[in-house]
Structure 1
Amino acid sequence: MSDAEPRPRSRALPFGILLAAVVLVSANLRPGASSLGPVLEEVRHGLGMSGGVAGAMTGLPGLCFGLVGALAVAFARKVGTTTGIALALLAAAAGLLLRVTTDSVPLFLLLSVLALAGMAVCNVLVPPWIKAHGHTVVLMTVYGTGLVVGATVAALTTAPVAEATGSWRTGLGMWGVLLVVALPLWAWLALHERRSPAEHSVSGDAAPSGRIAHSPTAVALTVLFGIQSMHAYVQFGWLPQIYRDAGLSASTAGALQALLSGVGILGALAMPTVIARSQGLHAWMVSFGVMLALGYAGLMVAPATVPWLWALLLGLSGLAFPTAIALITARTRHPSVTAQLSGFVQPIGYAFAAVGPFLVGLLRDATDGWSLVIVLLALTSVPLTLAGLRVARPSYVDDEI
């Protein structure tokens, strides 16, 4: 733990419990969102869902993560951070388990929103919870990796499970069961915190009380997180179609998508340690922007020639996502500032993510091709790089507010 990081008064919770808690929560914050896409057609036919509603379903994760995430910090002030996470996991589990039992489209949508709302609250509250309990670099590494692994595994396994069991309800419902596994430990943590609140308080100076929007680092981190989140959702939703329109098979396009996701897993493992040990991150930020531009340039001029190279470059540029997640704790000292920063960066960032795939679809239909879309996506490498260079400075949001 760095000298700038406040130390808990008492190591009331062993590292093994902290590690288990982070593994369980991180692995459960993406499958509910990424599992629907592979079986969306089956869900649509099974419920009699219109094409418009099915399309809207794909934008729900980003929308819920943005809107509900903005309320998470205020919610945590009322119930406590640990209790907030526990209640959010309960809501997510209930939503995922109950939605596969209904034949009503409105109820399916409502329960999906409930599940995604629970995940949105956890998105914002887990980084400050980690900050308050120490072992920040290790636990943020586990957290970032769990997010990527959870999303990737759900995307890869939901359809095969649905096919093997003959039911899309089983494929989607199993992620609710996985969430239930996380509930006992987090419920115990919430009760433990309420019984001995002094053990979980943080010593040191009082937290700064200024507005987080007054911090240049916070604003830049929001831009970095938002642009990269937009690209992640665009690539997840549209990259396979770009490859298929270039003449590649569906299985090849899927494998290229998996390559991109696999690079993200490696990045989530590495970047928190890189941030903690590096003298500066400027070279990394420039490389993220360059690889993003080169990846899209390759998709523009020769998508089917060396398609693995473009997927690899885009995957490497996507290391900006685990970097941004890790910087939420690395650029703050006090856990309450970490909570404010997380509640500022993630909701706005996920709003970008919700709008991006929708605009890409509109532009593709309007221009009847991918050229303009890819050019515009490549140009966003400029603000991504500029925001990254600002965040690369070794400054603390606490000092700026």
Structure 2
Amino acid sequence: MTTPRGDCAEHTPDSPASAGTTGPRRVRTIGFGLAMLAVLFISVVLRPGATSLGPVLAEVSSSLSIDESTSGILTALPGLMFGLVGFIAVRMGQRAGLSLTIALSLVVVVLGLVLRPFSTSFWGFMPLTALALGGMAVGNVLVPAWIKRHGGLHTVALMTLYSMFLTVGGSAGSGLASPLAGAAGATGALGDPADGWRWALAFWGVVAAVPMVLWLLVARHTGHDFPGTPAQDRPDRPLWTSPTAVFLMILFGFQSMNAYVQFGWLPQMYRDAGLDANLAGTLTAVVAAMGVIGGLIMPTVIDRSRTLAPWMIGFGALTTAGWLGVLIAPAEGALIWSLLLGVGGFAFPTAISLIPARSRQPHVTARLSGFIQPYGYLVAAIGPMAVGMIHSALGNWTLVLILLACSGVVLAVAGLRVSGRIFVDDEVQA
């Protein structure tokens, strides 16, 4: 049984007795208040660096003389960096500890986000963008493992906070970009009004400084807190041998792909159906807003439900119905389709919350997060690029929408496989 932890109490990793663990370390825990603030603030800043670029991409391209094909590289960069850097995040955490690695990743995020707006060419802007996204990728992988490591009795509450404010931060990044750029341009803060986008992007680097300070404080309290591995006759098998891990990765990847397509292409689909740009943006915001609700309720649903099967079937069915609606009657039922896609998008906070929920030991949670998210984000990165290529080749959205509707079936099948209380630990240690 987990017992409440007080500030600066010391414990040994993963079990009441440190015997039977490799490399046991004395780890100091932190109070729930500091843990809550740390999780809240980092969840808010792990998405805006990516989502704030799209709304001002035209201004960025004009200022930096970037052509349309090069702009496509920037739109694909979040998924690619989240995937590629995610592969090394767990190893970084093993070396420096979860808390310190997360803190240092935020230092990288702040530097990248603050410096990139002042680039004068694509060749300065892109590496700094990649740097910031790489820092976010480390946080993506390690924060769920950190919550499993330090959450104790508050694990569900912290996962609820994390999954909900990931969506809030992503929505704020896209929603505030244009207003911030317009306000900065109107005041002439950067000289040329056309350079207002620079402040809109730099703003999130300033915001990220708050969790950076918090996590440096957390790291000072916890010390090296990467969970030790319990001694076993045989080491854990690779995660690809765990059906639960594989299907959870598929669930995460396909839902993330849907989300990237929704934020990147759904507004254009609605505009091509005759809706004006503001309404198309509002309808896309409805999808994002539903994700906040999903982040609020799904961690508790997972904790209290014996099976998630009805939910998983529902997520897949609603995703399929939403995309078919956009295909058949995009303008007439636009609000309905956005609501359906938004509720189907509850699969994303579900997948995030299942990482600690489908693993018992913190070191397995860390490995699972380092497996699911990198591969999942690489799958997700393919989606927007494929959509653009198919639409460009055919000149319409029909095949794209049929394929997206089929992705709802994949979501349901993968979700059913992870809907029961099956633990990855049992599959890799058998």
TM-score range, shorter chain: over 0.9
Q: Is the 8 A contact 2:94 2:226 kept in 1?
A: no
Q: Distance in 1 between matches of 2:197 and 2:175?
A: 14
Q: Distance in 2 between matches of 1:205 and 1:223?
A: 28
2:69 corresponds to which residue? Answer: 52
Q: 1:23-62 maps to which residues of 2 (within 5 A)?
A: 23-62=40-79
Q: 1:188-199 maps to which residues of 2 (within 5 A)?
A: 188-194=217-223, 197=224
Structure 2 letter corresponding to 1:49: I
Partner SS state of residue 380, structure 1 = helix
Q: 1:76-115 maps to which residues of 2 (within 5 A)?
A: 76-115=93-132
2:263 corresponds to which residue? Answer: 236
Q: Is the 8 A contact 2:255 2:348 kept in 1?
A: yes
Q: In the TM superposition, what whole-angstrom CA distance separates every residue of 1:20-71 from its partner, at most 9, and x where no partner exists? A: 0101111110000000000000011111122221111001000000000111
- What is the deviation of 1:104? 2.3
1:219 corresponds to which residue? Answer: 246
1:182 corresponds to which residue? Answer: 211
Q: Distance in 1 between matches of 2:227 and 2:397?
A: 52
Q: Distance in 2 between matches of 1:308 and 1:176?
A: 34
TM-score w.r.t. the length of structure 2 is 0.89
Q: Distance in 1 between matches of 2:278 and 2:123?
A: 33
2:380 pairs with 1:353: yes
Which residue among 350, 360, 375 is the counterpart of 1:323? 350
TM-score w.r.t. the length of structure 1 is 0.95
- What is the deviation of 1:206? 4.6
- What is the deviation of 1:192? 2.2
1:283 corresponds to which residue? Answer: 310
Q: In the TM superposition, what whole-angstrom CA distance separates every residue of 1:228-247 from its partner, at most 9, and x where no partner exists? A: 00000001000011111111
Q: Is the 8 A contact 1:6 1:333 kept in 2?
A: no
2:236 pairs with 1:209: yes
2:184 pairs with 1:165: yes
- What is the deviation of 1:211? 1.2
2:24 corresponds to which residue? Answer: none
Which deviates further from its counterpart, 80-89 or 200-209?
200-209
Q: In the TM superposition, what whole-angstrom CA distance separates every residue of 1:113-171 from its partner, at most 9, and x where no partner exists? A: 00000000110000010000022100000000111000001111111010111111100
Which residue among 393, 408, 411 is the counterpart of 1:381? 408
Bigger relative CO (Cα 8 Å, ≥ 6 apart)? 1
Structure 1 letter corresponding to 2:394: T
Partner SS state of residue 236, structure 2 = coil
2:158 pairs with 1:139: yes
Q: Kindly tell me: are residues 49 and 8 of structure 1, through their superposed partners in 2, closer, same or farther at Cα, counting changes over 3 Å?
A: farther
Provide the aligned length of Structure 1 versus Structure 2: 396
Partner SS state of residue 118, structure 2 = coil
CA RMSD of aligned residues (A): 1.8
- What is the deviation of 1:203? 8.9
Which deviates further from its counterpart, 96-105 or 113-122?
96-105
Identity %: 50
Q: In the TM superposition, what whole-angstrom CA distance separates every residue of 1:7-31 from its partner, at most 9, and x where no partner exists? A: 6898731100000010111111000
Q: Distance in 1 between matches of 2:275 and 2:15?
A: 54
Q: Is the 8 A contact 1:32 1:115 kept in 2?
A: yes
Q: Distance in 2 between matches of 1:369 and 1:170?
A: 36
Q: Kindly tell me: are residues 201 and 293 of structure 1, through their superposed partners in 2, closer, same or farther at Cα, counting changes over 3 Å?
A: closer
